[in-house]
Chain A
């Protein structure tokens, strides 16, 4: 199996990581969330008269709790992706072993999820 795409993606990630290490060690950037920045811009445009019309019903009490919930979100997603890829891969292998090899579409696929 060709691994060309994997190598390209890896290269992109490495360049990006290198850039990050370089930038974070040579500048004093804060790496705050871009999603939080419009507040400052809105304040500037409205001369500080801006008031949000609503407040979140519940806020994570600390940065740790927030990371926990973001981490949980990623973990749930990664788990689902891993589960189904593993399921499909194993299914494909066993079907090939059982003699379905050569057919383009194994019949069994149609009725199962």
Chain B
């Protein structure tokens, strides 16, 4: 999912930064406000950030014979929303760009958009929609995290296809042709990894509900009745 340093033409670097920076700024604002109002969320915030740290460092072999990594952003998106997750992802992406030559500073805007914004937005929407249904709670978390992961890689494919349309001229057909090629690299590789990410995220969420459900209720992530039901089953 990381677009490597220098792999996007300058114009696209600017476009993706222009979209990402306002979201990060809004995330920082929300983060400050949240921490000021509820200091007790700090540990959960650290856990959400740490989960992104762990998962995005694990390059996992996939069925396609290549390795890729999960994003770990689903948990943060569900608990704190996409904007704050964008801030957490940015920290991870800067670490990887500076110390691992993985991703890059010119492509940071593009990578923040795919991993820090698009994926979490999808996770968040699926979670909110899922909570209106009667599906099992952990299955909803699974779906949110798995599709968020997959959406991240779809956005990366889109970004690369926009920058490198077939034939060098950006028409819809040329875009689709390139998108197919980039998605072929990412989409199938990511499918099983998205399932793993979803499963592990659901498990982590179970433990959060187990030890700290009161904060989740307070942050309106979960309703009290849901917590009681979950505890009735799993406690």
Contact = CB atoms under 8 A, between A and B. Distances in A.
B43 A87 contact: yes
A34 B63 contact: no
Given A56-B97, A69-B100, A35 B68 contact: yes
Interface residues of A, number: 67
Interface in B45-69: 46-47, 49-59, 61-69
Interface in A7-26: 8-9, 12-13, 16, 19-20, 23-24
A37 interface: yes
B106 interface: yes
A20 B165 CA distance: 34
B85 interface: no
Contacts, number: 189
Contacts of A112: 40
- Summarize B's interface: helix, strand, loop or mixed: helix
A38 B5 contact: no
A109 B40 contact: yes
Interface in B1-60: 1-10, 13, 39-40, 42-44, 46-47, 49-59
A39 B165 CA distance: 14
A74 interface: yes
A33 B53 contact: no
A15 B208 CA distance: 26
A32 B105 CA distance: 23
Contacts of B69: 35
Contacts of B63: 19, 23
B181 A35 contact: no
B99 interface: yes
Contact of A30 (B66, B68, B104): B66
B50 A77 contact: yes
B4 A39 contact: yes
Nearest to A84: B43
B235 to A, nearest CB: 6
Contacts of B64: 29, 34
User: Max chain A CB contacts within 10 Å: which of B44, B100, B160, B233?
Assistant: B100
Nearest to A8: B199
A87 B44 CA distance: 12
B53 A6 contact: no
Contact of B101 (A9, A37, A58): A58
16 contacts: A5-B138, A12-B196, A13-B199, A19-B192, A20-B61, A36-B4, A53-B8, A53-B13, A54-B6, A56-B101, A70-B57, A76-B53, A77-B49, A81-B54, A109-B40, A113-B42
Given A53-B8, A113-B43, 6 more contacts: A16-B196, A35-B102, A54-B105, A77-B51, A109-B214, A110-B40
